Amino acid sequence: MNFKETVTLAVTGASGSGYFLHLLETLLKNDCQIYLLLSDAAKIVLKTECDEDWPEDLGALNDALRQKFSVSKDQLIILGKKDWFSVVASGSSSPSKMIICPCSCGTLASIAAGLSNNLIERAADVVIKERGQLIIMPRETPFSTIHLQNMLTLSKLGVTIMPLAPGFYHKPKTIDEIQLFMVARVLDHLKIKHEISHRWCE
Ligand SMILES: Cc1cc2nc3c(=O)[nH]c(=O)nc-3n(C[C@H](O)[C@H](O)[C@H](O)COP(=O)(O)O)c2cc1C
């Protein structure tokens, strides 16, 4: 199958797992191929906030999510945190587009410092060094000066900082509509056409 885009999607342990679930589903529905990376903390938050209790075993997790979203093994590939030989770990093979949704302040700090201690941090480091498109969606409130400085560091490197701060001018009636507002903004930035109505004056 020819995919519209290949995107690395990472989810970390910040609040807002529902945004991630909508984003993953929307990208898959829009014929994107996804390399999916989950931190350990992300799995805890997914269980806490969305009652999503996913298998620990990577093979079982791949099977479960492909079944959940009705996609092939070519379209959704879930990688382990130490999969150093995967495509996202090297500039010679990595997709040029990556999203971290939601992004914890811990992962934000590690990326700003260039630590590359797990596959999420390494994949982000690769996209930055290869001058690809990295969208980071942090969630915390309030932001400390440390968080803001880390965001500034990354923004100066060309990273898009898109905080999970949805608008309300489309008069959302449900949590899903609020979350889809942010999903639409991501797809706009990736230049993927979508049917989620949210634009100013629409
Ligand atoms: C339910 C829950 C909600 C959390 N919400 C946030 C949050 O909104 N922002 C944040 O930066 N960390 C949050 N944390 C803390 C992170 O999960 C923690 O710092 C973790 O070490 C992040 O690891 P990771 O970046 O590898 O996912 C939350 C933790 C839990 C259990």
> Model confidence over 49-80: pLDDT tens digits?
999 999 999 999 999 999 999 999 999 999 99
The Cα–Cα gap between 91 and 82 comes to: 17
Class of the 5-190 domain? alpha beta
Give pLDDT, residue 186.
97
pLDDT band at residue 43 using 50, 70 and 90 as cut-offs: very high
Q: Which of 111, 115, 172 is nearest to 138 (CA)?
A: 111
Please indicate whether residue 43, judged by its CB atom, sits closer than 6 Å to ligand 1: no
Q: Which two tokens stand for residue 195?
A: 């049917």
Query: What percent of the chain is predicted at pLDDT more than 90?
Result: 94
- Residue 198 confidence (pLDDT) above 80: no
The Cα–Cα gap between 113 and 98 comes to: 18
Please indicate whether residue 14, judged by its CB atom, sits closer than 6 Å to ligand 1: yes
Measured from the CA of 44, which atom of ligand 1 is nearest? 31
pLDDT band at residue 144 using 50, 70 and 90 as cut-offs: very high
Q: What is the mean pLDDT of the chain?
A: 96
pTM of the model: 0.97
Phi, psi of 190 (to 5 degrees): -80, -5
If you average pLDDT over residues 82-105, what whole number do you get? Answer: 97
Q: Any idea which residue has 């903390």 for tokens?
A: 41
If you average pLDDT over residues 17-39, what whole number do you get? Answer: 98
Give pLDDT, residue 120.
98
If you average pLDDT over residues 9-15, what whole number do you get? Answer: 98
Please indicate whether residue 62, judged by its CB atom, sits closer than 6 Å to ligand 1: no
End-to-end CA gap in the chain: 34
Measured from the CA of 16, which atom of ligand 1 is nearest? 8
Please indicate whether residue 15, judged by its CB atom, sits closer than 6 Å to ligand 1: yes
| Alpha helices in 69-194, H assignment, sequence order | 105-112, 119-129, 145-156, 175-190
The CA 8 to ligand 1 mean position distance, Å, reads: 20
Q: Any idea which residue has 């495509």 for tokens?
A: 87
Please indicate whether residue 44, judged by its CB atom, sits closer than 6 Å to ligand 1: yes
The Cα–Cα gap between 134 and 129 comes to: 11
If you average pLDDT over residues 143-161, what whole number do you get? Answer: 98
Give the other-Cβ count within 10 Å of 109's Cβ: 16
The Cα–Cα gap between 110 and 12 comes to: 12
Give pLDDT, residue 199.
67
Pocket test for ligand 1, best of 11, 15, 49, 150 (most atoms within 8 A of CB): 15
The larger pLDDT score, comparing residue 2 to residue 154, is at: 154
pLDDT band at residue 195 using 50, 70 and 90 as cut-offs: confident
Please indicate whether residue 140, judged by its CB atom, sits closer than 6 Å to ligand 1: yes
Which parts of the chain are beta strand (E)? 5-11, 32-38, 76-79, 97-103, 133-138, 160-161
Give pLDDT, residue 1.
78
Q: Which of 35-44, 89-98, 181-190, 192-201 has the lowest mean pLDDT?
A: 192-201
Please indicate whether residue 118, judged by its CB atom, sits closer than 6 Å to ligand 1: no
- The secondary structure element, H or E, covering residue 128 is helix 119-129
Please indicate whether residue 188, judged by its CB atom, sits closer than 6 Å to ligand 1: no
Q: Which two tokens stand for residue 114?
A: 């260039």
Measured from the CA of 48, which atom of ligand 1 is nearest? 1
